[in-house]
């Protein structure tokens, strides 16, 4: 009996262990299935997304999470495909060869029926864009069909308002801007030649951008350092250093009807200096009048190992020079009173980056502190200030340049050879651009509306003359299919019909006709109306069904179309948005809607 009981207990124990093991296996499989997520192993990508959507609809907590703010949603990006970091909880990837157009092979990854191609290949093949970004410690991949931005249009557009989205333009920092001329106060371009030339389009954009910034930004902080008054309004103690052999005195100036500082500092001395010590702002301005040759220099402490660099503004016409840690800008003789306003950040970086090529060399140097101002020679100084911005000084520098440099034909000749492409004849120096004419008019109109100075309006009215002459007669007019008047950004032979330059020329004509009145603005109104008729008729020619075309060379030369880059595509949209606020034709809004969809991968319907 004792042996029988032992046998029974032994058999029972084996059965109990077997049952316990079976239960544990079942529980383990159940837990593993739950951790693998709501996606069955056999579901493909689209089916998995459908399952996820169904799970979301049946889960109120999940719905609430997805309706939270974008910032909250970014904290924990959802994990797709049963993966968490690098640990696979569902199917594992395996490598697979992907044959592309029967031409070459790239290595891909396979997960069940889903195949993944490397984004480095996708990016180049489809010309799309993406990057890995991190939010609160989580990585996610951000994909974009395009890289450029459409701006919200301020409606309606007015000739005295912000110009398109130009408040976001920073013309002076472009690497194809050699520097801001000390004599003229406007950019010198190296767009098509390293020697540098004054490009009226760039100069007008420089003026319009600063005009627009002035309307959209807060008034700048201004620090006054010297007014030559006995009682400085700021209460600041003026700290001048006058070394041996130099002199500094306060005198009354009859032309300015105020007191000014007169300095005498021979070239072989250290010069008279004013301590500034500004670490906040870097736009310096001062009124200056030289009696002899001289210079006003600004010493800067920089981020380059705290080294001191000096920017010299010299009474000659040298454009720019850089040696050791000294940068030189010629500002002209300045023998009568004038205001010098300079952006020390731009002047420092353009000097350090000076090169003999088209592009300014990249540099990370920045000013940290404006240490002091040093004057040499004989002359007068007044109203020395440092401010955060000086937008209107830049705007009027551009406006005055346009008045001074307009020729007898009403245009601003571009003094550099331009070759638009194969099949077009080169444009010899002295050619006009409808885009330059239009943006110059938009600049001059704003200067007139601010000052009521008729010199600006007269210059704008004369600028319509090239619109009426064909390119063969040094004008900017072309005619498409013997029917539609067009104003050429590049008056090539054969005609090129560049879209964005044409629309800029129309905006200028609109600004002028609205400002000059019915009588003076009659010519501008006729040119504008003819141009708008052409635009409405020809706009469909620039639509590819997935983007836009820069010009019509494919029609004029029988070549492949010149597709617009995304930044030009968004320029087309921004221009049409503006025009839609001054012309109620539905075509503009229709094209804006369709062309915006292309930025997100939209396509026109196929047959």
pLDDT value of position 356: 86
pLDDT value of position 478: 98
Q: Is the pLDDT of residue 265 over 90?
A: yes
| Cα 516 to chain centroid, rounded | 31
Instruction: Report how far residue 171's alpha carbon sits from residue 356's, in angstroms, rounded to the nearest whole number.
Output: 20
Cβ contacts of residue 63 below 8 Å, gap of 6+?
A: 56, 57
pLDDT value of position 16: 78
DSSP 460-499: HHHTTGGGGSBGGGT--EEEETTTEEEE-SS--SS----H
pLDDT tier at 194 (50, 70, 90 boundaries)?
Answer: confident
Least confident segment among 85-89, 167-171, 180-184: 85-89
Question: For residues 279 and 195, which has the higher predicted lDDT (pLDDT)?
Answer: 279
Structure tokens, 377: 């020679």
Contacts 24+ apart (CB under 8 A), 429-432: 430/474, 431/474, 431/490, 431/491, 432/466, 432/474, 432/475, 432/476, 432/491
pLDDT tier at 231 (50, 70, 90 boundaries)?
Answer: low
pLDDT value of position 116: 96
pLDDT tier at 70 (50, 70, 90 boundaries)?
Answer: very low
pLDDT value of position 47: 42
For all residues of the chain together, what is the average pLDDT? 89
Instruction: Report how far residue 444's alpha carbon sits from residue 200's, in angstroms, rounded to the nearest whole number.
Output: 12
Instruction: Report how far residue 63's alpha carbon sits from residue 293's, in angstroms, rounded to the nearest whole number.
Output: 76
Peptide bond just before 517 cis, omega within 30 deg: no
pLDDT, mean of residues 393-421: 97
| Cα 192 to chain centroid, rounded | 20
pLDDT tier at 236 (50, 70, 90 boundaries)?
Answer: low
Percent of the chain with pLDDT over 90: 80
Q: Is the pLDDT of residue 208 over 70?
A: yes
Q: Is the pLDDT of residue 68 over 60?
A: no
DSSP 323-337: ETTEEEEE-----S-
pLDDT tier at 31 (50, 70, 90 boundaries)?
Answer: low
pLDDT, mean of residues 173-202: 95
Residue pair 567/516 in contact (Cβ under 8 Å)? The answer is no
pTM (2 d.p.): 0.84
Residue 185: name the closest of 198, 174, 201, 176 by CA: 198
pLDDT value of position 37: 42
CA distance readout (Å), 142 to 267, 373, 497, 555: 59, 48, 36, 38
| Dihedral sign from CA coordinates of 191, 570, 497, 395 | negative
Instruction: Report how far residue 204's alpha carbon sits from residue 183's, in angstroms, rounded to the nearest whole number.
Output: 17
Instruction: Report how far residue 405's alpha carbon sits from residue 414's, in angstroms, rounded to the nearest whole number.
Output: 11
Instruction: Report how far residue 248's alpha carbon sits from residue 531's, in angstroms, rounded to the nearest whole number.
Output: 61
pLDDT value of position 18: 75
Percent of the chain with pLDDT over 70: 86
pLDDT, mean of residues 488-509: 98
Q: CA 436, 442, 443: angle at the middle one, nearest 5?
A: 90
Residue pair 316/185 in contact (Cβ under 8 Å)? The answer is no
Residue pair 565/146 in contact (Cβ under 8 Å)? The answer is no
What tens digit of pLDDT does each residue of 461-471 get?
999 999 999 99
Q: Is the pLDDT of residue 288 over 70?
A: yes
């Amino acid at each position: 009996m004792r042996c029988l009981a032992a046998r029974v207990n032994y058999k029972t124990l084996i059965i109990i262990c077997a049952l316990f093991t079976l239960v544990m296996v079942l529980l383990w499989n159940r837990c593993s299935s739950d951790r693998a997520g709501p996606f069955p192993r056999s579901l493909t990508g689209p089916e998995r997304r459908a399952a996820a959507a169904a799970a979301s609809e049946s889960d109120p907590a999940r719905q609430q999470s997805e309706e939270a703010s974008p910032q909250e949603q970014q904290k924990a990006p959802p994990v797709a495909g049963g993966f968490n970091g690098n640990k696979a909880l569902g199917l594992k990837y395996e490598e697979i060869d992907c044959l592309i157009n029967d031409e070459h092979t790239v290595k891909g990854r396979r997960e069940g029926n889903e195949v993944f191609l490397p984004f480095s290949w996708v990016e180049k093949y489809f010309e799309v864009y993406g990057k890995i970004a991190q939010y609160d410690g989580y990585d996610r991949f951000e994909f974009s069909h395009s890289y450029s931005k459409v701006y919200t249009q301020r409606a309606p557009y007015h000739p005295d308002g912000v110009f398109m989205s130009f408040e976001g333009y920073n013309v002076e920092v472009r690497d194809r801007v050699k520097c801001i001329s000390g004599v003229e106060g406007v950019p010198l371009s190296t767009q098509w030649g390293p020697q540098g030339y004054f490009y009226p389009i760039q100069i007008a954009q420089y003026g319009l951008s600063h005009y627009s910034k002035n309307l959209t930004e807060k008034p700048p902080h201004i620090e006054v350092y010297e007014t030559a008054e006995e009682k400085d309004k700021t209460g600041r103690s003026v700290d001048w250093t006058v070394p041996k052999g130099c002199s500094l005195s306060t005198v009354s100036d009859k032309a300015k009807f105020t007191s000014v500082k007169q300095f005498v500092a021979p070239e072989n001395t250290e010069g008279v200096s004013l301590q500034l010590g500004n670490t906040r702002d870097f736009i310096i301005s001062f009124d200056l009048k030289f009696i002899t040759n001289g210079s006003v220099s600004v010493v800067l402490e920089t981020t380059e190992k705290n080294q001191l660099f000096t920017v010299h503004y010299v009474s000659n016409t040298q454009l720019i020079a850089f040696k050791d840690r000294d940068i030189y800008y010629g500002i002209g003789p300045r023998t009568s009173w004038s205001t010098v306003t300079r952006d020390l950040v731009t002047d420092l970086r353009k000097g350090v980056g000076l090169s003999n090529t088209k592009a300014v060399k990249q540099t990370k140097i920045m000013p940290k502190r404006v240490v002091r101002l040093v004057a040499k020679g004989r002359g007068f100084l007044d109203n020395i200030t440092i401010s955060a911005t000086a937008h209107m000084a830049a705007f009027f520098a551009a406006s005055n340049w346009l008045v001074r440099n307009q020729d007898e034909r009403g245009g601003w000749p571009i003094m550099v050879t331009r070759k638009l492409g194969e099949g077009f004849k080169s444009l010899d120096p002295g050619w006009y651009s409808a885009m330059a004419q239009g943006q110059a008019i938009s600049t001059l109109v704003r200067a007139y509306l601010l000052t009521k100075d008729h010199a600006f309006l007269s210059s704008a009215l004369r600028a319509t003359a090239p619109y009426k002459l064909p390119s063969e007669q040094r004008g900017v007019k072309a005619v498409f299919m013997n029917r539609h008047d067009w104003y050429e950004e590049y008056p090539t032979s054969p005609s090129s019909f560049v879209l964005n330059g044409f629309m800029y020329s129309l905006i200028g004509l609109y600004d002028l006709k609205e400002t000059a009145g019915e009588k003076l603005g009659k010519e501008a109104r006729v040119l504008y109306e003819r141009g708008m008729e052409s635009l409405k008729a020809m706009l469909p020619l620039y639509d590819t069904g997935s983007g836009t075309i820069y010009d019509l060379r494919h029609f004029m030369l029988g070549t492949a179309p010149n597709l617009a880059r995304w930044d030009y595509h968004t320029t087309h949209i921004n221009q049409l948005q503006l025009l839609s606020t001054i012309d109620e034709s539905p075509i503009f809004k229709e094209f804006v809607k369709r062309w915006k969809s292309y930025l997100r991968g939209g396509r026109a319907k196929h047959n």
